[in-house]
């Protein structure tokens, strides 16, 4: 099964074989893979070598470890195209997943100058500052921290953020969402966010800031999102 003459290191060959077994469904999502001892016997290599293969698969998000319990097969990541301006609710529903939210903060405040500038606010203008954990099939996917100008939507309440905000804006408020700009950065999760996302630091996250505009190029939201890097991969179509 392994080619000891190959220039490809043994741990990479094992990694590849385990990957294929996961993709074929030999080890279904949520089940544990064989122990290091079993794998080292099966491949006739040291436990160190097997551990290296498993660590690489954990780092790639195909497996996850639970202390004292073992190593398990992770759910495949959600593939999120970055080309269209869609809402979280639309994104999850289009995959047959059930979206939900937990509102963890709702305040009206005067924002810092960077947000005020992005929303083209005047001095003294207030925003709703809303913090939500977004779930797909009851699993936490992201934290969204949203700033919306009160003057554009004077009558929003906590209720407006229980379901889809974009549906509220387009259906209840009768406004047309037209475009957005986004910035994306990688990072390591902070302690408080790790608890909210149910992950253990150190863990990778993707941070996205979106500034979205209504027709007429009026900025209506600044959203700072923290996505679980083990749950998401982002795709774009590019042309030349």
Output 39 or 133, the one with its CB closest to ligand 16G. Answer: 133
Question: Least distance to ligand 16G from the beta carbon of 184, Å?
Answer: 8
Instruction: For CA atoms 136, 140, 145, 150, give the dihedral sign.
Output: positive
Residue holding tokens 């003294």? 124
Question: Least distance to ligand 16G from the beta carbon of 213, Å?
Answer: 12
Output 65 or 233, the one with its CB closest to ligand 16G. Answer: 233
Asked whether 105 and 165 are in contact (CB, 8 A), the reply is no
**Footprint (CB under 6 A) of ligand 16G, residues 81-110:** 87-89
Across 122-215, the runs of DSSP E, i.e. the strands, are: 127-136, 139-149, 177-188, 204-214
Question: Least distance to ligand 16G from the beta carbon of 32, Å?
Answer: 33
Question: Least distance to ligand 16G from the beta carbon of 127, Å?
Answer: 14
Stretch that binds ligand 16G, among 13-21, 29-37, 41-49, 220-228 (CB under 6 A): 220-228
Stretch that binds ligand 16G, among 44-52, 58-66, 108-116, 159-167 (CB under 6 A): 159-167
Question: Least distance to ligand 16G from the beta carbon of 197, Å?
Answer: 14
Token pair for residue 4?
A: 């000891």
**Footprint (CB under 6 A) of ligand 16G, residues 116-155:** 144, 146
Question: Least distance to ligand 16G from the beta carbon of 225, Å?
Answer: 5
Output 133 or 223, the one with its CB closest to ligand 16G. Answer: 223
Q: Which residues make Cβ contacts (< 8 Å) with residue 163, sequence separation at least 6?
A: 89, 101
Across the chain, the runs of DSSP E, i.e. the strands, are: 63-66, 70-73, 78-81, 99-109, 127-136, 139-149, 177-188, 204-214, 218-228, 232-235
Q: Is 165 in the site for ligand 16G (CB under 6 A)?
A: yes
Q: Tell me the site size for ligand 16G, rule CB under 6 A.
A: 14
Rg (CA), the chain: 22
Q: Which residues make Cβ contacts (< 8 Å) with residue 95, sequence separation at least 6?
A: 78, 136
**Footprint (CB under 6 A) of ligand 16G, residues 166-205:** 166-167
Write b or e for each residue in 140-178: b if 16 or more Cβ atoms lie within 10 A of its Cβ, otherwise e: bbbbbbbbbbeebbeebeeebbeebbbebbeeebebebe
Give the chain's end-to-end CA distance (angstroms, integer).
Answer: 42
Among 71, 160, 164, 175, binds ligand 16G (CB under 6 A): 164
Footprint of ligand 16G on this chain (CB under 6 A)? 87-89, 144, 146, 164-167, 208, 210, 221, 223, 225
């Amino acid at each position: 099964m392994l080619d000891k003459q190959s220039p490809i290191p043994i741990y990479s060959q094992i990694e590849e074989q385990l990957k294929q077994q996961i993709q074929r469904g030999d080890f279904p999502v949520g089940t544990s893979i064989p122990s290091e001892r079993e794998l080292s016997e099966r491949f006739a290599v040291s436990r160190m070598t097997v551990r290296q293969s498993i660590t690489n698969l954990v780092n790639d998000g195909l497996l996850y470890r639970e202390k004292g319990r073992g190593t398990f097969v992770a759910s495949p990541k959600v593939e999120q195209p970055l080309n269209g301006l869609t809402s979280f609710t639309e994104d999850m529903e289009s995959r047959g997943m059930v979206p939900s939210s937990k509102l963890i903060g709702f305040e009206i405040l005067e924002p810092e100058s960077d947000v005020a500038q992005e929303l083209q606010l005047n001095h003294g203008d207030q925003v709703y500052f809303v913090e939500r954990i977004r779930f797909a099939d009851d699993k936490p996917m992201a934290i969204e921290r949203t700033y919306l100008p009160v003057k554009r939507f004077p009558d929003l309440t906590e209720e407006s953020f229980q379901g889809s905000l974009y549906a509220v804006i387009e259906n209840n408020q009768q406004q047309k969402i037209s475009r957005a700009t986004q910035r994306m950065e990688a990072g390591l999760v902070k302690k408080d966010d790790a608890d909210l996302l149910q992950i253990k630091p150190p863990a990778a996250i993707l941070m996205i800031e979106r500034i979205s505009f209504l027709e007429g190029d009026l900025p209506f939201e600044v959203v700072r999102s923290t996505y679980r890097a083990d749950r998401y991969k982002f795709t774009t179509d590019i042309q030349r």
